[in-house]
Amino acid sequence: MGTGNTFGKVFRISTWGESHGGGVGVTLDGCPPRLHVTREDIQKDLDRRRPGQSRITTPRNEEDAVEIMSGLNSDDVTLGTPIAMVVRNK
């Protein structure tokens, strides 16, 4: 039996989707309310793992763009509800 795709106890991370399907995503549960988090904050870390940046990574050149689907208000402040993010395949 596998270990699944959810990690953590108080702060839980669940991944979903397929890299060869419509996209991949993550749901973060347990993040407290009233933290300022922007799409750019997440994108910075996502860009660090972008392929094609060195000879030891895959040469594919895809620009992954994260979308935050839920869990933040219009001022980029966490609500205390699960935060869902997706990177769509193009």
Query: What does the pLDDT look like over 34-66, one tens digit per residue?
Result: 999 999 999 998 888 776 666 666 666 667 899
What does the pLDDT read at residue 20?
A: 84
Q: How far apart are CA 6 and CA 12, in angstroms?
A: 7
DSSP collapsed to 3 states, 2-56: CCCCEECCCCEEEEEEECCCCEEEEEEECCCCCCECCHHHHHHHHHHCCCCCCCC
What does the pLDDT read at residue 1?
A: 44
CA angle 67, 65, 41 (to 5 degrees): 70
Write down how long the chain is. 90
Q: Does residue 69 surpass a pLDDT of 80?
A: yes
